[in-house]
Structure 1
């Protein structure tokens, strides 16, 4: 599994390179998404539909803390890619060492705090009524593994920044496959119910962490850090924080979105509406895997070439990534529009859910063909180290448009208006991102290209 060396990011044809980077990322995201999907199917059929809603309530809390690892990983990965592109491996090593220290210290503190405030957080995110007890059971056990989950998320982005997408793919697949196997053992064979589902999730990330240790200690990684690299450097910490805050803010807004949507739906339609959203949320994770894979594959290519001053390759990578992602998004759209009833039947046999979920799913995915530009545009600014525009563009969909829409429209027009808020936010955020991305290409990248070629 030789992978791609970091130098190849600046030499190979961009189209071929993007496929090499995006395909393993897509497979990894697919397997991870299938894990969430099948996990939901197992829980729904072996425990009950209330268990699906319970897990959906817990996800934003545990994912937010684990997302700290992703934020530190992506923020540091941008620095590592640009440092390797600029021929500065020492900065890359210090960045990785600082990522390890920051991830472990912050997530341990937050995991302890999260366990201490479980009785406040679980109902606050919609775990009310019959949902509370199974949600708290799941939440408590999953929180034990959150620091390890965060380290895995951080390490995966570092592996990809090195130009080793196949190893990153395996790192994503291990917890997914492990979770499904442990689900079968703990829930179906041993009958542990919600506790079994939670221990399966937690145990799967310990398996992933063991793989990460092997990778970084073997000869596969270029990042061989020593004790000196673990000392926090203010400049690196600030840069990781500025770029990582983009990812963290996005996940924070996603968590707030879950809070609002779960509570609004519980008020409008009770546990059934929360379950509908849980099913649709799983499909959002699963169906968009190829588009997200292209976005992940694009990040190290754009970052490395920007750091190396190869601006024509940066523009080429933007153009090709948007085209590939748009085509894949169109295929996802066609699939969802054609088979929503069949999709919902996989999750549940509950007659009320079967009646309500397909129509809601069509609305949620209605603007899928346009999201490629929004995702690639926001990713570009993060890849090249421009934290402020990356942050603003990342927050446009969920923060600036979606949350205000769901706070206003459902109160006026009911539950259907909440589902309609999804495509409206997609279209508006894509328009804003497109404006800033094209302006960046016209005013920043093209003049740099012209200056180099004169």
Structure 2
């Protein structure tokens, strides 16, 4: 049947060729997606007269933006792997129910987040590291950005269900369309119309609205293997529970990124001042340039692992996992290596302030040292999600940022001064990669061994296969 051949190639096409065909568009989509914020910051940083302070102010809003993205990840990345597993079982009705409930969650999240942050944005921004000098720019940007929360939720959260059915090219185009519009509108609104940071925010929400429309149009069309239907958006307790069980891990990964930024910005403001907060604004953007391609690779390969796990194809699951780890590891070595050995290549993209560039180049090699091996953890984390290993995935999500990085960022500067904040990152990265590797070997070995059982017992469920059966059937 025509509708099933698209997803069935996840289980039949030559593995190397399939991984490239899915990962390349996914990487492109992730890189394009990061342009929404990166391009804004590049233009804002070059505004004559106040670009450096405006850039710092917009950087302070990053935790709010990450929290919004975290809720979209909760529903999207929690639901998409489950839907892919159902596709491997050829249970299309169940896959569509998961899609619909994820969309319903996104609507609820959008309303709550828009209202909540709009009311409390000023005290929240101060808590996130804004100063009397930068607060005006932070408020101007986020005040408009929040109006497009619903578009961000749909564009990011539902796009995972497009790539999850093997349509990586369509998923890439949904992001590409919005990015092109954003890049074109930014200079017009910021410089031609003289709107400054407000113009950057307006350009972003318009572009996200177009992306969201593209995603919804595809998921409701006959081209989609699973379709978004209004009747499936009514939330069902068991479905939401399973989406949440898997979605809590990517939610924590992204929301704690916000908490990390709050901690780092507050510490830098306390021990250094606005200029140091500015370095973190730049390095946060650079971190995206490094991590986002890795996320694209994992996003492209994840449906292959999930589909074949659902289909019980052990050798194909194992082959995809090994290739994923190798590629992610090599990618972070190259991308983070540039930040360590040639920091000026990145820093000068974002500002023409010589003092800010010089300081950023001094601290960047320290901050990014541990990221050189972070590809291993990203690959392992994605594999846990693809296999439905909610508990292990949740622990790994908490380990690096909540258990390690945030406490280190608070403790180290008490002894080392402001440089201790930058050193907290590599220490947390190296420890978490080592711990993740050990857990990965133990957990995945057990999951692959249990794939021989008809009930597909999960490592999370132990001998109680019943809970796992309800999750996947």
TM-score normalised by length of structure 2: 0.91
The 2-side partners of 1:38 and 1:339 are apart by 21
The 1-side partners of 2:59 and 2:4 are apart by 36
Give how far 1:203 is off.
1.2
Where do 1:82-231 residues align within 5 Å? 82-231=85-234
Give how far 1:314 is off.
1.3
Question: Contact 1:122–1:132 at 8 Å: present in 2 too?
Answer: yes
Tell me the alpha carbon deviations over residues 141-186 of structure 1, each in whole angstroms, 9 at most, x when there is no partner.
1111112111111111111111100011112222222221111110
Does residue 271 of structure 2 align to residue 272 of structure 1? no
Please, which of 244, 247, 256 is the counterpart of residue 250 of structure 2?
247
Give how far 1:451 is off.
10
Task: Give the secondary-structure state (helix, strand or coil) at the position aligned to 1:130.
Answer: coil
Q: Which residue of 2 aligns with 1:24?
A: 25
Does residue 59 of structure 2 align to residue 75 of structure 1? no
Q: Which residue of 2 aligns with 1:285?
A: 288
The 1-side partners of 2:330 and 2:4 are apart by 26
| Uncovered stretches (5+) of structure 1, i.e. residues with no partner | none
Give how far 1:28 is off.
1.1
The 1-side partners of 2:213 and 2:228 are apart by 18
The 2-side partners of 1:440 and 1:215 are apart by 36
Question: Contact 1:333–1:365 at 8 Å: present in 2 too?
Answer: yes
Tell me the alpha carbon deviations over residues 297-329 of structure 1, each in whole angstroms, 9 at most, x when there is no partner.
121111111111112211111110011111111
Does residue 334 of structure 2 align to residue 349 of structure 1? no
Q: CA RMSD in A?
A: 2.0
The 2-side partners of 1:427 and 1:437 are apart by 15
Give how far 1:435 is off.
0.5
From the superposition, tell whether residues 323 and 196 of structure 1 become closer, same or farther in structure 2 (CA, over 3 Å). Answer: same
Question: Contact 1:4–1:165 at 8 Å: present in 2 too?
Answer: no
Tell me the alpha carbon deviations over residues 205-264 of structure 1, each in whole angstroms, 9 at most, x when there is no partner.
111112123212333211234443222221111101111111111222111111111110
Question: Contact 2:103–2:154 at 8 Å: present in 1 too?
Answer: yes
Question: Contact 2:155–2:212 at 8 Å: present in 1 too?
Answer: yes
The 2-side partners of 1:199 and 1:271 are apart by 26
Give how far 1:269 is off.
1.3
Greater shift after overlay, 74-83 or 207-216? 207-216
Q: Which residue of 2 aligns with 1:10?
A: 11
The 2-side partners of 1:292 and 1:119 are apart by 32
Q: Which residue of 1 aligns with 2:465?
A: none
From the superposition, tell whether residues 441 and 244 of structure 1 become closer, same or farther in structure 2 (CA, over 3 Å). Answer: closer
Where do 1:410-449 residues align within 5 Å? 410-446=413-449, 448=451
Aligned length: 451
Does residue 343 of structure 2 align to residue 337 of structure 1? no
Tell me the alpha carbon deviations over residues 268-294 of structure 1, each in whole angstroms, 9 at most, x when there is no partner.
111100110000111110133332221
Q: Which residue of 2 aligns with 1:61?
A: 64
From the superposition, tell whether residues 208 and 447 of structure 1 become closer, same or farther in structure 2 (CA, over 3 Å). Answer: closer
Tell me the alpha carbon deviations over residues 10-37 of structure 1, each in whole angstroms, 9 at most, x when there is no partner.
1122222211111001111122234433
Please, which of 402, 405, 409 is the counterpart of residue 408 of structure 2?
405
The 1-side partners of 2:214 and 2:446 are apart by 44
Question: Contact 1:3–1:165 at 8 Å: present in 2 too?
Answer: no
Q: Which residue of 2 aligns with 1:44?
A: 45
Question: Contact 1:67–1:153 at 8 Å: present in 2 too?
Answer: no
Task: Give the secondary-structure state (helix, strand or coil) at the position aligned to 1:5.
Answer: helix
The 2-side partners of 1:39 and 1:66 are apart by 17
The 2-side partners of 1:414 and 1:177 are apart by 42
Question: Contact 1:40–1:347 at 8 Å: present in 2 too?
Answer: yes
Task: Give the secondary-structure state (helix, strand or coil) at the position aligned to 2:166.
Answer: coil
Tell me the alpha carbon deviations over residues 341-368 of structure 1, each in whole angstroms, 9 at most, x when there is no partner.
2322222222321221012111122123
Question: Contact 2:66–2:257 at 8 Å: present in 1 too?
Answer: no
The 2-side partners of 1:184 and 1:49 are apart by 17
Question: Contact 2:220–2:229 at 8 Å: present in 1 too?
Answer: no
From the superposition, tell whether residues 218 and 359 of structure 1 become closer, same or farther in structure 2 (CA, over 3 Å). Answer: same
The 1-side partners of 2:444 and 2:242 are apart by 23
Tell me the alpha carbon deviations over residues 107-153 of structure 1, each in whole angstroms, 9 at most, x when there is no partner.
21221111111121111111122011110111111111112111111
TM-score normalised by length of structure 1: 0.95
Question: Contact 2:63–2:257 at 8 Å: present in 1 too?
Answer: yes
The 2-side partners of 1:329 and 1:226 are apart by 39
From the superposition, tell whether residues 4 and 126 of structure 1 become closer, same or farther in structure 2 (CA, over 3 Å). Answer: farther
